[in-house]
Amino acid sequence: MKPASGGRPPAAPVPPPPPPSRPAPAGSALVRALLVRGMLAGLAAGVVALAVSYLLGEPRVEAAVAFEESHAHGHGEELFSRTLQSTGGLATGVLLFGTAVGGVAALAFCFALGRTGRLAPRATAALVSLAALAGLYLVPFLKYPANPPSVGDPDTIGTRTALYFLMMLLGVLLASAAAVLGRALVPRFGAWYASVAAAGALVLAVGLAYALLPGVDEVPADFPATLLWRFRLAALAVQAALWTAFGLLFGELAERVLRPGPAPAAARTPPPHPAASVR
């Protein structure tokens, strides 16, 4: 103890340090906290995906629209200019999509939390994001890949939409089933072999669905193959960017919700925006 010096009376004891922070929410409040952060992280990831879709995707869309118009097969009258479609319209769709799937992934994270062994919240968020990319996008994409304008027969839009949404549903259901199966196998086979077995079962089930569902091949004979390939790569890049950004960002936010106490970053002054700081 430092002896009191000067004229100051030593009476006032040092107050006990305040508790590190308010306690972490639990139960339904925790679900709500994670859901809100998931939707915000989804919105932010949507901004990243928007940048990728504008920079990588739009040139391909533009080229495909030019092909469409050169074949006098256009939409007729235009409601919105191409400029509006490729900026405001694109942003509306991508940001809404990011926010919605961010919320879905946050709830999947709530199910996974505490059920992934030693994985910390951040790693669990990364795993959930990877699973969401696979179930929600890769599974449908590998059977019914994204198509640029002028690829696809307008008369079959009903069937193709139904098949695509069915494939999304199947991807999510089968990925969830594989996760449940893998967890059930852990006590018997250990985490590694249980994961390998669950992934194998998932591949098998998805392959079976691919074999049973009808294929779609409606590419016009003279549509440039390189343009189709580049468009599909760009579409893949959009989703990869969305889910990578979401996994990193949401993991960071979830870690802060679940460990509000002596987080490693707490040594420094807490930043005003949790999302803005990089450890």
> In sequence order, which residues have a C-beta less than 8 Å from that of residue 19 and are 6 or more positions away?
none
What is the CB neighbour count within 10 angstroms for residue 16? 6
Distance CA 59, CA 175 (A): 33
Residue 74 CA to residue 87 CA, distance in Å, equals 20
Using rule CB under 8 A, residue 71 touches other proteins: no
Which of 132, 147, 194, 227 forms a contact with other proteins (CB under 8 A)?
147
Rounded distance between C-alpha atoms, residue 116 and residue 212, angstroms: 33
* Alpha carbon distance 112, 71 (integer Å): 50
Cβ contact 167:145 at 8 Å: no
- Which window, 7-15, 109-117, 170-178, 194-202, contacts other proteins (CB under 8 A)? 109-117
Cβ proximity to other proteins: between 7 and 76 the closer is 76
Which segment (5-13, 106-114, 206-214, 219-227) binds other proteins by CB under 8 A?
A: 106-114
Mask of contacts with other proteins, 1-20, x by CB under 8 A? --------------------
The pattern of x and - marking residues 200 through 219 that bind other proteins according to CB under 8 A reads --------------------
Residue range at the interface with other proteins (CB under 8 A); choices 75-83, 126-134, 219-227, 270-278: 75-83
Nearest to 20 by CA among 268, 269, 266, 272: 266
Question: Nearer Cβ to other proteins, position 116 or 195?
Answer: 116
Q: How many CA atoms lie within 13 A of 150 on its CB side?
A: 24
| From 4-12, 152-160, 203-211, 221-229, span contacting other proteins (CB under 8 A) | 152-160
Based on the shown chain and the rule CB under 8 A, indicate whether residue 129 belongs to the binding site for other proteins. Answer: no
Taking CB under 8 A as the binding criterion, the range among 158-166, 171-179, 203-211, 270-278 that sits at the site for other proteins is 158-166
Please, which residue, 264 or 272, has the CB nearer to other proteins? Answer: 264
Per CB under 8 A, 90 contacts other proteins: yes
> What are the start-end ranges of the H helices in the chain?
27-52, 58-70, 82-84, 90-112, 121-132, 139-143, 157-212, 225-258
Among 76, 129, 87, 74, smallest CA distance to 104 is for: 129
Cα separation of 178 and 180, whole Å? 5
**Part of the chain binding other proteins (CB under 8 A), chosen from 195-203, 229-237, 243-251, 265-273:** 229-237
- Could you give the string, one character per residue 22-61, with x where binding to other proteins holds by CB under 8 A and - elsewhere? ----xxx-xxx--x-----------------x---xx--x
Which CB sits closer to other proteins, 273 or 279?
279
Contact predicate 35/123, CB 8 Å = no
Residues 6+ apart with CB under 8 A from 24: 30, 257, 258, 259, 260, 261
> Which residues of the shown chain bind other proteins in the complex (CB under 8 A)?
26-28, 30-32, 35, 53, 57-58, 61, 75, 78-80, 84-86, 88-94, 96-97, 99-101, 103-104, 107, 110-111, 113-121, 137, 140-141, 144-149, 152, 154, 157-158, 160-162, 164-165, 231, 234-235, 238-239, 258
